[in-house]
Structure 1
Amino acid sequence: MKFYNLETEFNHLQNWSNKAATGGALMTIVTGRRRVGKTALLNQAFPRGGEHRALYLFVSRKQERLLCEEFVEQIRALLNVPIFGNPSSLREVLEILLQYSCTEPLTLILDEFQDIQRSRLFFRTPASLGSVQRQKPDAPDLLWFTLQPDDAFVPEQ
């Protein structure tokens, strides 16, 4: 896959991941129009089995309980995290990941995150995400960049 006009964003992602690996923490939001390569950029920056541990979770429009089961299965398999019981809320799943990230650097990619809000799965109150973030007080930074339509990727042939 070949990227055009995304070298800066790719380098930012790598640098932020390096910062996380040395004890820093950042929350990064990648936004942009449909089909401009957001997911492809993240997959390129954080390949499975790559230098940086990354967990890619796709937020599908499912019931919260089913989505949690899917996420917990991936967490157990990819991060080798023992999870006791069956978390039934996304808040519980995110708390598990925040606890894990206190001892191991982790890049968490939530693809189609807006579907959490649309399905009213997680944002039952406006303070939901903030209450989860406060559990990791050393993560104050929010970095945001938007991919534009003229930024693109072209699959290599």
Structure 2
Amino acid sequence: MKSHGRGFGLLEAIVALVILASAGLALFAWIGQSLGDVRRIEDAQARAALQLKAVGLVTNINPFVEPKGERRVGAVRIRWTSELIEPMRYSLPFAGSKSPIWEVGLYRLDVVGTEESTATRVEFSIEQPGLNALAVQPRRREDMP
């Protein structure tokens, strides 16, 4: 008597399970890599946002007056040190003035910013001017409007 095979045999079931398991492993590996990429992107975005905040705080610093220091605004803390990279020079006189009222130098600020709420940290350098106010000359009567 001949038996007609109906359904799956053991060999076919094993082959189907191997194919399914291989596809599942590939899918889980892809999901794991994608989640790792998402974490790296979120970290990069947090560092970029912190650096923008730190640059905003640093631009209000006169490195001639404060060559190094620390500031805190909310959860953001910045520390900086500065180095004069271009010598101090006299500014051009303003209209009606016979002599300059500022000395201007270019400084490199090395900045470290941290945000305590996210434990994010950035380090960067920025160049900006430092100003030294010289004695202001009194205005002459004929120069007044």
TM-score, normalised by the number of residues in structure 2: 0.22
Q: Which has the larger radius of gyration?
A: 2
Q: Which of the pair is proportionally richer in strand?
A: 2
Return the structure number with greater relative CO, CA threshold 8 A, min gap 6. Answer: 1
TM-score, normalised by the number of residues in structure 1: 0.21
